[in-house]
Amino acid sequence: MTRWVLADYGEVISDPLPAETIGELADLAGQQADEFRDRYWKFRPAYDLGQSDRAYWSAVLGRELQAEPRLVEAMVRADVAGWMTLNPRTLPALIKFGTHAGVRLGLLSNAPEPLATAIDNSGWSPSFDRRFYSCRLGLAKPDSAVYQAVLDDLGATPQSVLFIDDRAENARAAAALGLHAVRFTSAEELPGQLDDWETSTRPRGWTHPGLYLPQGADRHRTHPRPEGKRLSTGIENDPGDEVVTDPLG
């Protein structure tokens, strides 16, 4: 059985959108930064589902931009550039884990086409065997249909997939479909979360010939969990959120 780690992009593999990018975009839009930020996110869902660049930025700016293609292009360039700074620890941790544990890596992102194209053209994207984007699927997280579409495409069972996302509602939706799911909170916690999932799903008798464990180390872990900390999926105890049974438990 092929096992998959399916990771979100924004604020998991990438850093958050910088305040400097919001400021640059707000200046292009002729809006105050706070007003622009609100409109940027208010109209984003349709863009993530495949809406055109012009339609999205027209909505954000509150005017039709058909006659201003250079402004649309400038907005797209600044937006994509803002999302292309990587978390310096997440990607190496995922790649190292995939190699050591013998699992395949996939990416599932709510992203518009320009960002999807930039990710696909990046030097690191081949590390992910499969990459799925909401703009191309016509489906977005946390819609359960998006997870089912990915499972069908991979030919994978929910139990063979670990899903990682920074948004609790996305992780809960995946867990409800039977995927193992954890909420990403920091790159420091990620190796322990990956190792715990790998141990729970490892085929009986499987060992990796290149994995070296120091004498006295726990053979089921390649990264120590911080002393005194209990691993949490991060999706079951959000204040005000419905509790969802942890599929890892």
The CATH number linked to 197 is: 3.40.50.1000
pLDDT tens track of the chain, all 249 residues?
Answer: 899 999 999 999 999 999 999 999 999 999 999 999 999 999 999 999 999 999 999 999 999 999 999 999 999 999 999 999 999 999 999 999 999 999 999 999 999 999 999 999 999 999 999 999 999 999 999 999 999 999 999 999 999 999 999 999 999 999 999 999 999 999 999 999 999 999 888 766 544 433 322 333 344 444 444 444 444 466 655 543 433 333 323
Range of the domain at 150: 4-14+86-201
Asked if 208 contacts 101 with a C-beta cutoff of 8 angstroms, the reply is yes
| 100 and 67 within one domain | no
Q: What is the pTM of this model?
A: 0.84
| 137 and 43 within one domain | no
| 3-state secondary structure at position 92 | helix
| 176 and 58 within one domain | no
Domain boundary among 186, 201, 216: 201
**Could you tell me if residue 144 is inside a domain?**
yes
Asked if 141 contacts 131 with a C-beta cutoff of 8 angstroms, the reply is no
| 90 and 75 within one domain | no
| 197 and 75 within one domain | no
Say if strands 104-109 and 180-183 run parallel, antiparallel, or are unpaired.
unpaired
| 97 and 75 within one domain | no
Return left, alpha or beta for 158; rule: phi > 0 is left, psi -120 to 50 is alpha, else beta. alpha
| 160 and 132 within one domain | yes
| 41 and 25 within one domain | yes
CB atoms within 10 A of CB 211: 12
> What H or E segment, with its residue span, contains residue 5?
strand 4-7
DSSP category for residue 30: T
| 122 and 9 within one domain | yes
The residue type found at 211 is L
Q: Count structural domains, the chain.
A: 2
